[in-house]
A and B are shown apart, each in its own frame.
Chain A
Amino acid sequence: MRTRALFYIVFGWLILSALLVLDLVAHSYTAIQGAVLELIRAGLQGSAMLWFARALEVLFFRTSSISNVEDVRRAASWPVRLVERFSFVLAVSVLFAFTPYLFHLSLQPITTSGPFKIEPGAFSTVISIDILGFLWLTMLVVVLLSFWQIALVRQAPRFARRRFIGWAAAVGIVSLLSLWRMENVIPRNAIISTVIWGIAILMGVAALLLGYRLPWLPHLTREEKRRLLPFAALNSTIALAALFAYGTERLSADMLFERYALLWHTVAIASFATLAIYFALVFFSTLFTLSSSELVERKSAEVQSLARLTRFSSDILSSELLLDLPQLAEQITTLAAEATESDCAWLELRSTDRNNARYVGTNGEDIIRSYSHIGEHAAERIMEEAEGFPDAGRQIASPREELARTGKPLVLRRRISSRQYLLPSAEESLDNKELHSMVAVPLLRNEEVRGGLYVAKHREDGFDDDDLTVLTAFSDVASLALETARLVQDSIEKQKFDGELRAARVMQKSLLPERFPNVPGFEIYAISIPAYDVGGDYYDFSTMWDGSPLIAIGDVSGKGISASLYMAETKGIVQALAPVMANMTELLDGTNTALLHNSPSSTSLRRSFVTLGLLSMSKKGVHYVRAGHTPLLHVRSDGTYRFLQPRGMAVGLIREPLFSDALEEVLVDVHPKDVLVLFSDGITDARNPSGEALGYQRLASFVLQHLHIGSARDLTLQTLASVADFTNSGNFDDDATLVVMRCLEHM
C-alpha cells in the first residue's frame, strides 16, 4: 500500500519535473504566455495533483474512515475532530501562500530589496518558483481532500457528490474564463466580466449549499459544539487569510502563483473563498444551535436510559435482583430518576392479596418503598397532600389517591405554594430546594393500581411528553419486574410452608411411639401410613393407674397442621389422664371435657373431633371402649371373626353427661392364638381403581389369610400389603393405621 502511494507521488513529481523542464526551456516567467501553453501547463499540473490525491487517499484518508469508529459517541464527535485537523492543514497551506512574501520573493523589479533578489527570467527564479509551486499545488490537493472528508460526513454520498460537482463545475468555468480573459482569448469587456461574476456568485451559492446541510451538527453535545466553535472560526479566518494571500494583487504570492499556474490559481482562490463561507456557516450554525443542544443531549440520554432499561428488563429475569425485592425497587427508582433527569424519585408498591385494604397507611400492610435523593417524609407529604399543585386548574387532593382512582399518569406542572417539601436534613443528599414539578405513573398489575412511581424536579414545568412516554414504558417494565420478584418471594415462602408441612409430619411421626410395650401374654405391633397431607391418625401405649397396659387408637377429623396439633393435644391429655383415672370411661370423659374446654366454640366449622378406641389389658381381662372409632376386629384361632362395636360417641362433639352416658365398655373374651386388630377408617375406606371401598369383611379376610404367620409384626405388614394390593396403586387417600395384638399360646 505504501509502495503504491510512493509510486503515485513519484509519478506526480515526475510530471511536475517535466513541467519544470518545459518552463526552463520555453519560458522564463517574464510575461504571460499563450493560452494553449497555459492550458498544457494546467493539464500537467492537474494530472500531477490527481496522482498526489490518490497517494494521499491511500496513505491517510482511507484508513481513517468513520466505519472504523466503534463507539456511537465518538462517531458523533468525529466531525469535530476532522474540523480540528483541518485547521492544521489550512494553516500549513496558508504558510506556503505567504512564503514568497516572507522571503521577498518577487517577480517585480521594484521589490528588489531583501535577501532574495530575483531577476525575472533568471534560471534561479524559474527553479524557485517551480519548487514553491510544487509545494503549493500539493497543499491545495491536501486541503481539497480534507475538506471533501468533512463535506462527506453523514451525507448521502450521491447528493454530496452532486453538490460538489456543481460547485467544481462553477469553479472550473470561472477559472477557465479568467484564464482566457488573461490570455486575451476572449475580450475583456463588461459582458464577460458580468458573466464571470455571475458564475462566481453561482459558485458562492454552491459553496453555501455545501455548508447549508450539516447533518452531523445537531448530533453534537453542547460541549462538543463549544469545542467546534473556535476551530470553525479559525478555519474561516485562515481561509480568508489564504484568500487574501492568493487573491490580492499587491502581494507577491499572488503574482508568483498566478504566473506558475494561472488556472489552478483561480481554483485555489475559489476554493479558499468556499472554505471561508463554509466554515463561517459552520460557525454560525453551531452558535445558533448551541442553545438547542440540550435537547440533543437529553434525547441521547433518553436513548441511553431506554437502552439501559431494555437491558435491565432482560437482565432482570435471570438476575439475582429478583431475589431481592428492596434492591430491585431501589434500582428501578434510580433508573427512573436518570431516565427523566429528575432531581429525585421514589416508588411505592402495595403488597399482594390485600384486595380490600386501603391503599396505604394501615400498619400491618406490607408496602415496599424506595427513595432516591429524597427523604421519606418529604415524599410522603407530596403524595399525601399535593398542596399548591394545581393541574389544569383542578386542585388535586392527593396524588396517591388520584393515581389509585384513575390509574393514569399524573403530571403536576407547577406549584404555587411556597411550602417547603424537603426537610433540611443532613442525610438527605438533595439541597433544601423546593420541588416544583412532578410526574406520577401508576404501577399496574391486571389493570389494578398496585402503587406508583414518582419523579420530581426543582424546575417548574420540568417534564414534557417524552418524559411521560419514557416513564410510562418504564413503569410497565418495572411493574412486571416487581411482580415477578414478588412471585419469586412468594414461592420461597411457599417452600418455607412446605418445610413446615414436613416439620409437622416429622412431629406427627415423633408423636407415635417408637417401641411397643411388653404386655404379658401378648405380642403387639402397629404401623401408621400418613397420607399426602398431614393427617390425624394416632396410636399410643400407656399404663392405667393399676398398672395395666392401655392401647389407644385415634383419628382426628380434618387434615393438615391443625389436625396434627389436635392429635398432639389429644395424646397429651390421654397420657396425662390414664394413670389417674379409675377406668377407661372416666378417662374418655375427662378427655372429652378437656378437648371441649380448649376448642374454640365460636364457629362450628373449627370444631374438630377425635375418635378414640381404647383397649386395656388388666388381669380381669381385655376391655374395649369405643368413642366413635371404628370397631375392634376380633379374629379367633378357629378362623371365625367378629367386629365389636360398643356404643359410644366421638370425643369433642358433645358435653357431659350425654357423652359418658353413651359410652359402653365391653369385655373381650380372648383366647390363645386369637388376634385383635384396631384400625382406622383409612384402611377400610381404601379404594380399588373401580372406586370400591375395602370394607370390614375384606379386612377380616386379609387378616385370616395371614393368620398362620407367626409374629405380630409380619401379620401386620402382610395385612397392610394386602390392603395396598387392593388399592392397586399403594396410595391411601387418608392415613391408614393398623394395631395388631396377638395372643400368645400361654396367657
Chain B
Amino acid sequence: MEQTPRFSVTEVPSAGRATVIALAGQLDAHTASEFERFLERIVRDEGKRQLVLDFDALEYISSAGLGVLMGLIEEVRAGGGDMKLAALPEKIFHVLDLLGFPMVFQIFSGVQDAELAFEERL
C-alpha cells in the first residue's frame, strides 16, 4: 500500500493574478522546513507576492508552521503583496484565532473569495 506523504504543499494553477498554494496533511516542526523552502522559493525566487494559502486539506498546524507564515508576511507586504488564508478547517481556525492570527492575516471561507479580494484591490 502506498503511503501518503505526511505533508504536501503544491502550487495550484489559477486563472487569476493570485498564486494559490494548497496545503495538505500535517504541518509540524518536521515538515515546516519544507513549507518554508517552498514559500521562500515562491516569494524570493519567483517574485510572487499575491498569495492565497488553501488550508482545506490541512489537518494540523504547529507553532513552527505558524512561524513560517509570520516569518514571511512582512516581506510579502513590503513588496506590495499579501498573504491571505482560505478554507480553514474549524480546528485550525481555532488555533489561529487563539493566537490572534485573524488580526494579522485576512481569512476567507473559500479560495475564490480570497482570489477575488486580490482582484478588487486593484
At the interface with chain B, which of A546-554, A572-580, A602-610? A602-610
Interface centre among A608, A647, A649, A653 (most CB of B within 10 A): A653
- CB under 8 Å from chain B, chain A span 606-629: 607-609, 611, 627-629
Contact B98 A609 (CB under 8 A): no
Q: Which residue of A lies closest to B75 (CB)?
A: A604
Answer whether residue B116 sits at the interface, using C-beta atoms and an 8 A cutoff: no
B71 touching A558 by the CB < 8 A rule?
Answer: no
Q: Mark A642-667, 1 if CB is under 8 A from B, else 0.
A: 00010111100110001001100000
Contact among B62, B72, B98, B103 with A604 in the assembled complex (CB-CB below 8 Å) = B72
Decide yes or no whether A630 CB sits under 8 A from chain B: yes
Report Cα–Cα, A295/B4, bound state, in Å: 67
Q: Are A604 and B70 in contact (CB-based, < 8 A)?
A: yes
Inter-chain CA distance A608–B72, complex, in Å, is 14
**Which residues of chain A are near B29, meaning CB under 8 Å?**
558-559
A629 CA to B62 CA, complexed, in Å: 14
Q: Does A557 contact B (CB under 8 A)?
A: yes
A604 touches B36 (CB 8 A): yes
Assembly CA distance A161 to B42 (angstroms): 95
In the assembly, what is the distance between CA of A609 and CA of B32, in Å? 15
Contact A604/B68 with A558-B29, A558-B63 known, Cβ cut-off 8 Å: yes
When the two chains form the complex, which single residue of B68, B98, B104 contacts A630, counting CB atoms closer than 8 Å? B98
Known: A557-B63, A557-B64, A558-B29. A604 touches B100 (CB 8 A): no
Is A662 in contact with B68, judged by CB distance below 8 angstroms? Answer: no
Assess the A628–B64 pair: CB atoms within 8 A: no
CB distance from A82 to the nearest CB of B (A): 78
Interface of B is mostly: helix
A-B contact pairs, 8 of them (CB 8 A): A604-B68, A608-B67, A609-B63, A627-B100, A629-B98, A653-B99, A658-B103, A662-B103
Q: Is B106 an interface residue (CB 8 A)?
A: no
Per the 8 Å Cβ criterion, residues 6-53 of B in contact with A are: 29, 32-33, 36
Residues of A contacting B70 in the complex (Cβ-Cβ under 8 angstroms): 604, 607, 609, 653-654
Q: Is the CB of A653 within 8 A of B104?
A: yes
Q: Which residues of A contact B103 (CB under 8 A)?
A: 647, 649, 658, 661-662
A380 CB to closest chain B CB (Å) equals 41
In the complex, A146 Cα to B97 Cα: how many Å?
107
Q: How far is the CB of A238 from chain B (nearest CB, A)?
A: 91
Closest 6 CB pairs of A and B: A604-B71, A649-B100, A557-B63, A628-B99, A662-B103, A650-B99
Interface centre among B32, B33, B103 (most CB of A within 10 A): B103
Q: B104: which A residues are within 8 A, CB to CB?
A: 649, 653-654, 658
Q: Which of B63-94 contact A (CB under 8 A)?
A: 63-64, 66-68, 70-72
Q: From residue A617, how far is it (CB to closest CB) to chain B in Å? A: 24
- In the complex, chain B residues whose CB is within 8 Å of the CB of A605: 32-33, 36, 64, 67-68, 71
Q: Report the Cα distance A697→B54, complex, angstroms.
A: 29
- What A residues does B32 contact at CB under 8 A? 605
Whole-angstrom CA separation of A653 from B67 in the bound complex: 8
A645 contact from B66, B67, B72, B98, Cβ within 8 A: B98
- Identify which of A557, A607, A647 contacts B100 (C-beta below 8 A): A647
- Measured CB to CB, the nearest residue on chain A to B67 is A607
Given A647-B103, A653-B104, A654-B104, also A557-B98 (CB < 8 A): no
Shortest Cβ distance from residue B58 to the other chain A in the assembled complex, whole angstroms: 17
Given contacts A605-B32, A647-B103, A662-B103, contact A628 B68 (CB under 8 A): no
Complex CA distance for A433 and B64, rounded to whole angstroms: 64
Task: Report the interface size class on chain A.
Answer: 20 to 34
Q: Which residues of A contact B33 (CB under 8 A)?
A: 605
A residues with a Cβ closer than 8 A to B are 557-559, 603-605, 607-609, 611, 627-631, 645, 647-650, 653-654, 658, 661-662
Give the docked Cα–Cα distance between A631 and B97 (Å): 11
CB-nearest residue of chain A to B63: A557
Residue of A559, A604, A628 with most chain B CB atoms under a 10 A cut-off: A604
Chain A residues whose C-beta falls within 8 Å of the C-beta of B72 in the assembled complex: 604
- In angstroms, how far is the closest chain B Cβ from the Cβ of A368? 34
Q: For the complex formed, measure the closest distance between the CB of B100 and the CB atoms of chain A, giving whole angstroms.
A: 3
State A397–B98 Cα separation when bound (angstroms).
Answer: 65
Whether B99 pairs with A604 at a CB distance below 8 angstroms is: no
B97 shortest CB reach to chain A, Å: 8
13 further contact pairs, Cβ within 8 A, besides A611-B99, A654-B70: A557-B62, A557-B66, A558-B64, A559-B29, A604-B70, A605-B67, A605-B71, A607-B70, A607-B71, A631-B98, A648-B100, A649-B99, A658-B104
List residues of chain B with CB within 8 A of the CB of A647: 100, 103
Of chain B, the residue at the smallest CB distance from A555 is: B63
Task: Give the shortest distance, in Å, between B90 (CB) and chain A (any CB).
Answer: 12
Chain A: minimal CB distance from B35 (Å) = 10
Q: Which residue of A lies closest to B35 (CB)?
A: A605
A534 to chain B, nearest CB (A): 14
Residues of A within 8 A of B66 (CB): 557, 609, 653
Contacts of A608 in B (CB 8 A): 63, 67
Complex: A453 Cα to B94 Cα, angstroms = 62
Residues from chain B with Cβ under 8 Å of A649 in the complex: 99-101, 103-104
**Chain A residues near B63 (CB-CB < 8 A):** 557-558, 608-609
Within 8 A of A (CB), among B94-117: 98-101, 103-104
Q: Kindly state the separation between the CA atoms of A605 and B27 in the bound complex, as whole angstroms.
A: 13
Query: Which single residue of chain B is at the shortest CB-CB distance from A654?
Result: B104
What are the residues of chain A within 8 A of B99 when measuring CB–CB? 609, 611, 628, 649-650, 653
Neighbouring B residues of A559 by C-beta, 8 Å: 29
Q: Hey, which chain B residues are within 8 Å of A654, CB to CB?
A: 70, 104
| Most chain A CB atoms below 10 A, which of B63, B67, B68, B99 | B63
Q: How far is the CB of B94 from chain A (nearest CB, A)?
A: 10
A603 touches B100 (CB 8 A): no
| Shortest distance from the beta carbon of B89 to any chain A beta carbon, whole Å | 14
A267–B70 alpha-carbon span in the complex (Å): 114
Which residues of chain B have C-beta atoms less than 8 A from A629's C-beta? 98
Task: Give A41 to B32 CA distance when docked, in angstroms.
Answer: 113
Shortest CB–CB separation between residue B30 and chain A, in angstroms? 11
A627 to chain B, nearest CB (A): 8
Which chain B positions have C-beta within 8 A of A557?
62-64, 66-67
Instruction: Say how far A653's CB is from chain B's closest CB, in angstroms.
Output: 5
The answer to whether A603 and B98 touch across the interface, beta carbons within 8 angstroms, is no
Q: Give chain A nearest CB distance to B40 CB in angstroms.
A: 9
**Cα(A557)–Cα(B68), bound, Å:** 13
Q: Complex: how many Å from CA A11 to CA B32?
A: 106
Closest B residue by C-beta to A606: B67
Q: Give Cα A719 to B29, complex, Å.
A: 30
Nearest Cβ on chain B to A570's Cβ, whole angstroms: 14
Chain B positions within 8 Å of A611 at CB level: 98-99
Asked whether A628 lies within 8 Å of B100 as measured between CB atoms, the reply is: yes
Closest B residue by C-beta to A563:
B63
A647 CA to B98 CA in the complex, in Å? 8
- Who on chain A is nearest to B36 by CB? A605
Bound Cα distance from A658 to B101, whole angstroms: 11
How far apart are the CA atoms of A653 and B70 in the complex, in Å? 7
Q: Which residues does chain B contribute within 8 Å of A628, judged by CB atoms?
A: 98-100
Chain A proximity of B93: nearest CB distance (Å) = 13
A200 to B100, CA, bound (A): 121
Chain B residues near A607 (CB-CB < 8 A): 67, 70-71
- Minimum CB distance partner of B73 in chain A: A654
> Whole-angstrom distance from the CB of A137 to the nearest CB of chain B?
98
Q: Taking CB as reference atom, which chain B residue is nearest A652? A: B70
B98 touches A662 (CB 8 A): no
The answer for the CA separation of A66 and B29 in the assembled complex, in Å, is 75
Task: Give Cα A629–Cα B99 distance, bound, in whole angstroms.
Answer: 7
List the A side residues contacting B101 at CB < 8 Å.
649
In angstroms, Cα B71 to Cα A669, docked, is: 39
